[in-house]
Amino acid sequence: MRESLRSQFLVEERSASNEELARVVILLCDDRFESEYSSFNDMFIMLRNIMRLSIRIVLAAAFVVCFSRSVVAQDEQDQQDEKRDANVIRVDVNLVLLDATVKTKAGKIMGDLKKEAFELREDGVPQNIEVFSRDELPLNVALVLDLSDSIGPFLGPLRDAANIALAALKPEDEVALFTFSTEAELRVPFTKDKTEIARQINAFQVGGATNINDGIFVASKYLLGAPPKGRRVIILISDDVGTSAGGQGTRDIVTETIAADATVYNLKIPGYNPAGTLFAAAMVPGLVNIRSVTEQTGGEIFEVKDVAHLDEVFQALINRIKTRYTLGYYTKATGASGKPHKLDVRLAQSFGKKGHDYVILSKSGYYVH
């Protein structure tokens, strides 16, 4: 309608009073134009009364006013968007997240640190920490359960311990369940129903070799292919006496786990392992070095001395995961080289020297996907 009007009267030249001119400008900018002035003839009669300015000037003035109003409205919308985005983590850039546990040299958790206490470097270059929290981002936990012969007597207590410990997770946290003996497999994909995980544990039958290598690797591979929904943790539940090396060694397992952006924790439980089994296990080449995997990914080993303390230790492990610091920064790195980028987290100089005055457990690198 506006375009038709503009074309029809572009060659007309009339004069108008200031009041009539104002009416035309307001009218042309009014969003209700089409509905209130559907009659072209009515508009024609009004425009013929224009006596001072040419229609060209009127239309130009209307265009300027309308355009200016549109620009102002867009600026206001942009300002609102900026205010809203200030509280949102950007997802259109390379956000690197890592969790960190900080301990004193005596092993006590340092749990009241502020953002300003941390320093973060990527490949030796200082980074600006733009994300900082403790247990605010969701957790994706992959339980990797040993179902070899030696674990049989502990499945019942383990189910009860899992039911209590996993209940401490937030409702939005998700858990997946993997098992391994001679082979490793996914039993329950990510779910928010923690009681289902505990129920499944009670229904399993034990038997076969102890292929820890594939247990960790299969879980890492699953995490690598899963949508990134939160912080990723693998909890290996085993007596740590491997009898089969599977298809992947320690180096490949660490690489896959770091690529999956996961941290490995180990709930080491007692197992029924006669002397002959322990001797045979010591002779198997290529068994995964669990301590190396946990250290390089920023995790820890929680050892259960006896079944009576299983609940207590399992809950301590879950609480440790929940209370780690989450640090994040936006990287300019690319995946062109195909190599991991090194990460170094430490405290400000006032806290002393890393490794001497305090210890930080965090992943040592990451891959750009």
Q: Assign 276 a pLDDT band (cuts: 50, 70, 90).
A: confident
Q: Which domain range does residue 119 map to?
A: 94-134+328-366
Name the residue with higher pLDDT: 68 or 366: 366
Same-domain check for residues 68 and 170:
no
Query: How far is the C-alpha of 186 from the C-alpha of 316, rounded, in Å?
Result: 25
Contact partners, residue 60, CB within 8 Å, separation at least 6: none
Asked whether the beta carbons of 149 and 159 are under 8 A apart, the reply is no
Other beta carbons within 10 Å of 110: 16
Instruction: For residues 193 and 129, state if they share a domain.
Output: no
Residues 150-188: b if buried by 16+ CB within 10 A, e if exposed: bbeebbebbbebbbebbeebeeebbbbbbbbbeebeebb
Query: Phi first, then psi: what are they for 311, rounded to 5°?
Result: -55, -50
Looking at the structure, do residues 174 and 206 belong to the same domain, yes or no? yes
Q: What average pLDDT does range 192-207 have in this prediction?
A: 90
In whole angstroms, give the CA distance from residue 272 to residue 270.
7
pLDDT above 70 (res 31): no
- Over residues 186-212, the mean pLDDT reads 92
112-121 confidence digits (pLDDT tens) = 999 999 999 9
Q: What is the mean pLDDT of residues 191-210?
A: 91
CATH of the domain at 223: 3.40.50.410
Note whether 308 and 214 are same-domain residues: yes
Q: What is the mean pLDDT of residues 301-324?
A: 94
pLDDT tens for 132-176 read: 999 888 999 999 999 999 998 888 899 889 989 999 999 999 999
Q: What pLDDT was estimated at residue 156?
A: 87
Burial of 213 (0-12, 13-18, 19+ CB in 10 A): buried
On whether both 296 and 343 belong to a single domain, the answer is no
> Do 360 and 216 belong to one domain?
no
The verdict on 126 and 6 lying in the same domain is no
Higher pLDDT, 165 or 9: 165
Q: Are residues 37 and 119 in the same domain?
A: no
Between residues 316 and 18, the one the model is more confident about: 316
Count of the separate structural domains present in the chain: 3
Domain identity same for 30 and 174: no
pTM score over 0.85: no
In this structure, the answer to whether residues 148 and 294 fall within a common structural domain is: yes
- 209-266 confidence digits (pLDDT tens): 999 999 999 999 999 999 888 899 999 999 999 999 999 999 999 999 999 999 999 9
- Whether residues 164 and 252 share a domain: the answer is yes
In a shared domain, residues 148 and 222: yes
